[in-house]
Structure formats: C-alpha cells, structure tokens
Chains A and B, each alone.
Chain A
Amino acid sequence: MSKNKSKTNKIYPILSILIILALWECLCVFEVVPHYMLPSPAQVVEAFIKDFWLLMSHLKVTLLETLIGTLMGVVIGYGSAMLMDRWEPAYKAVYPIVVLTQTIPAVAIAPLLVLWFGYKMLPKIILIILITFFPIVVGTLDGFRSADQDAINLMRSMGASRWQIFKHIKFFQALPNFFSGLKITVAYAVVGAVLAEWLGGFAGLGVYMTRVKKSFAYDKMFAVIFLISFISLILIWLVSVLQKKCMPWEYAEVTKRKRDENKCVRN
C-alpha cells in the first residue's frame, strides 16, 4: 500500500470520531441533555487537564499491575501451550480446566480474590493472569498444531530432534496466533486491572473511578474512561509494532518486477 493511500484511509475514522464529538458537544451546549448527567467533551477535557497529575499517579499503578499480570499470564500461557503440545495427556487433562476458568465471569471471581488476598496488588495481578493467559494458550496451541506436517517430516528425515522441530517450525508457525492472542490480552488486561481496583484498593484508575463516582463528578468519570480506552489502544498498537519487528518476513516486499528479475537470473 502506498503512503498516500494509507493516509486517506486514516482520514475516514478520524472524521467519524470528530463528527460524533461535535454532535455530543451540541447536545450539551444546547442543553438537550442536562450537563450533570452528561458532561460535554470540553468539560471532560477540562477535568482531564485539572486532574492530570493525579490521573497519572493512578495510571502508574494500573499500568504496573497490567504489565506484571500480562507478562506472567503470557509466560504461563505459552508454557502450558508448549506442555500440551508436547504431551497429549497434559492436553487432555489441562485443556478442559483452561476452558472452564474462562466460563466464570471475572466480575464474579474478583471479589473473592480481594477477600482472599487483600487490597494490595496481588489479587489484581492474579485476576489479570486469569484473564490474559486464555487467549495466549488457545492461540499458541492452535499455532503449534497447525504446523505443516510435511515440513515436520522433512525435518525428521534430516534427523532433527523434537526441540529443533519446535525451534525451527512450531515456534514460528505459532507467532501470528500468539500475537493475535496478545492483542486481545493487553486490552482485556487493563480492563481487568480496573475491575479489580473497583472492588477495593488504595491506588489505581479503578480506585479513582469509584471515588469520583461517589462524588458525582461525571466529567472526571468520563476523563478516566477515555484515558483507559486510550491506554488500551496504545498497548494494542505497541503489540502491533512488536509483531512487525518479530515477523519481518510478513512485511517483506514482493514486487512483480523483482519476481521477473529472479526468473531472469539464469534462464
């Protein structure tokens, strides 16, 4: 895709968002909706600026929880996927449990975790691990299993060990799935952290949220909601960047001209 085209592609979503914001502002300015129920975008921005440093200090806590939780979730998820790929009995024993953990809503486990582990960081991190490891396990395991059997046989004929087959084929085969899982995971992780903070804690965006809710400061409420969305978007974008770095072959250019050049080398 040319640079110009990708620029015009970006114009559409930006335009639609601007229109929505403008409509929203109109609703508030002309008092169609009373401002104590729905603050205008301008008021939200004002609240955001006023509370900026406070928000940042809470954000730091939430981000730290997210980071630790996601990292551990990814490691546990990837490890379980490797284990289940290696030993069929492990797959049969563990996979149903993995699926089962996902049928329990996070909102239901969170209060229990707070009850068991207190108001500090631990229950939040555990909840994030529970949320994040599932997409990683499922995606990565699917990736491992979709590896081309012919390629694996060829490696075997060359005398490759299981570990070499993993390193040269399965690992790479699972990368796209892994990154898709990771993108879902980071977005969920932030939400999970906020959810756990809601239910009790000393700092974090969720704690801030419950405080401003109790004081009916809806402009601040919206400010923190937007901040959470924005952070999630940034994290997803970061994963995309990482993916591009880790998978250069996906983005290698194939031009018709190059192909023809290659054909001409010898013939």
Chain B
Amino acid sequence: MALDPKFEAALALHRFGFGPRGDAIARIAADPRGAMLAEIERPNAGRIDNPDLLTGGEAARAAFDFRQEKKAVRLAEAADREAAKNGTAQPAPRPEKMDPAMADPFLQTQTGAMKLTLEEAQRKAANPPALPQQIYLEEAKARFDAAVATDIGFAERLVWFWSNHFCISADKGPTRPLCGAFEREAIRPHVAGRFADMLMAVESHPAMLIYLDNARSIGPSSIAGMRQNKGLNENLAREILELHTLGVRTGYTQDDVTSFAKVITGWTIEPLKQNAPHAGEFAFNPRMHEPFSQTVAGKAYADGGLDQGKAVLADLARHPATAKHIALKLARHFVADNPPPALVERLAKRFRDTDGNLKEVTKSLVTAPESWSAPRAKLKRPSEWLVASLRAGGVELKDVRPLVQAQNLLGEPLWRPPAPNGFSDDSTTWMDGLAQRLDIANRFGQRVPTQLEADAMVETALGPLASEETRSAVKRAESRPQALALLLMAPEFQRR
C-alpha cells in the first residue's frame, strides 16, 4: 500500500469527498486517511449550524398557513367575480399573485429572453417563489453550501449517502418544505452515531410518515379503525424491511409486513390547524394504534403503544441481515459497483461487532486496503460531479437555482427520487447523462470567471490523477471556458 501521498490525497478527495478545492490536495497529503477520520471525529460531524433554517414543524406550519391564505384569496376572488356579475361592490385590492415562472426560472423552455427588461427583472425580483418552494430552495442552498465549503467532504458525502438510503420525495404531497428539515433532523445528527438512532429518527419523522403513507395508517381494531371504514397501510412497514434494514429477499414474509404495519399504526403527525403549537410534528396517536401483541420475524412484541414499534426497530437495527445490507450499500457507493466481498464482509462484521456504530463502520471503510486499491471506475453521481465542479472552479455559490435545475437536467433531481429505493449507485445508470453533463460543463465554463492557467486548473482539480492526455487537452483549449469544460469532463474528473 505504498501510494504516493499526493496521489492518495487526490484519490481521497474524489472517492470519499467532494473533490479538491484550492490547495486541498497538498493540504491533506501528509495524512489523507487521518484527515478523513478527523472529519467524522468532530463533535458536530454532519450537522449544519444555521439558525435561519426552519424545523420540520415550523416548515409544516408555515406551509399550511401559506396554503390557507391562498385559499382565502381564491375564495375572495370568486366572491368578487360573483359580485361583479351582479353589478355590486368594487373588488377589493388583493395581494399580488405569485409568478409561476419564478418557480423554476432556469427552465430551458423559458422564452422571456428577448422580453427581459430591467423593469421586468425588478418585478420578478419582487415576486419570490411560493413558500414551499422557497423553503426547498433555502434548504438546497444550505446543503450545497455545506458540500462546497467542507475541507474534504467525507462527512457530507456520508450525509448524502444516508439521505439517499432513507430517501423521501419532495413530489409527494406536502413534503416539499420538509425535505431539508428531514435530512437535518433525522440523518445529519447520526452519520457518526448509531444506526439504531438514525433509524428511529427517520421512521418517526413527519416527512417519512407522509411520504410512505403511515401518517394515515389506522389499526383495524383501534378506536379510530372501529369508527371509520379506513385501515391499515403497509407501505412504510414494507419499505423499512425491504429497503431501510434487512434488505429484499432476506426471509421476512407478507405476514411480517402486515404485523409490522400494525405495530406502527398510530405513528402519525399532529393535525395541521391554525395556531396549534405542535401541529405538523410527530405524534403517537393511541386511538389509531392496533392494540395487540404482534409477531415480526419470529419474535413476539407485546403491545406497549409507541414502545412496541421502537422495540421492533431496535431489533431490526441490529439484525445480521441489516449489517450485510448496509455494508454492501456503503461499499457499493464509495468503492465499486461490484465491491470486493472481503470489504463488504469487513464492514458487516464491524457493524455487528459494534451494534451498528456508524463511526466505527465508517472507520473500517477508510482503513480497509480494498477501499484504496479498487480502480477508479465509478462514475460520479450527477450531484457529486456538480459540487466537485463548483469546488474545482472556485465558485462561490450565490444563487442555488441553476444548480437545482442542473440536477434536474441530469436526472437526479434533489430530494425527488423516482421511488423509495432512491437514486441508483450503479455507474451505467448515469452514463446516459454524459452528453447533458457536457452541456452543463460548457455552460459552467462560460460562467466561471477563472483567471487560472491550464496547468493550475489541472493541478487544483486532479493533481497526480491527471493523465498526460488530459493535461494536454486542457492546455490546448481555445479559451479558458473551453479548458474548464474539458477538465470537468475529463475521465479522471468524471470517475472516482
């Protein structure tokens, strides 16, 4: 394992971090693994300290109030039209309407280019996007800022990994304003903590309860179930077993799913209404909870209300199948599409031996020789590549919307996976988007006012990873924008 220290530093930054920024390669070359471990040893590892961001409850209530206001405006407008028809009353002044174009101002379909006057620009600036989208964008900005600002980005990459493992979708009902809060409240505090704690935080978070429908799952024999003709929803229980813990085809049965779904009935949210202090936050509602003992995966759990579900989650978290499932996903994400079995077993064993201590599992990942000897064959996911590009270009992020739009174009829209299994970690999935990456790299090159010479660009972004061919292609570019685009598209920058 006698890697050249600068080579290992550059590899660490690309494979385990968000790519080099400034003189990062030189800065960590003395001890790349130590620098990575230091990132997860920090007491606040993975957290974002930004008092301006809303808690999940605050965001839910703000979005609720916003919807209520809009409803009131619509009703009043209808009343005005009615009054005008009857020849009575002048319409009262209304709050200005939101400009729908601002919801995504970078859409390619926008045709306003030639019409954009200064007045229009001012008018648009005065009309921000609708509140849920505003919150989504603020959270997106905080997330990108954290990824761009970090030294190596190992802790942030872990956040992104776990956030995708336990994904929710902004496209599902009212979850849009909650996506950022979910990640900050359920994922970030635990990336260097215990898997069991993360699991509990995730499965009891309002965003997850809404996304996988548990908020309205009702025990058939519960008080609420007896009164109304509604009942059980198995969605969350199934995905916890299949995706979040044990993994698919690990021996659990349909009966296990149904029983587990009954166990977590009553895990819901405090109803949203005006001026209710905890509205939109997690609540255990005993009136919805199936009041019996249940058997899940061969073990009986006596009814204890909320504690029944906690007990099942705690056992799932330490199940050997969970250890193997998580080990495989970690190794696949960071090291190789088909990771070395020895690495997977090493991580699984560490998970079992430490009762799911994620800091310890992560340390094994960093110290395992296989993590460093695997070829650099994995294509970066679009979002990782975008952040790496920002870092290589030395860009200070002012407006997050072009980035959000770029992620959409590249098929990895932020917090909007197509299904609960999240975005793929398989390189071939992302190969198709290479042409779109080129267009974005091209635009990026046009937008970044770099004064760096070609050699300096390559040294910053790739250092010893750069091939002679890449150095020469960047050096021979006809302009700095083209040089930067070629650098960001170089195989050594696309792969990690």
Q: Do A and B come from one complex?
A: no
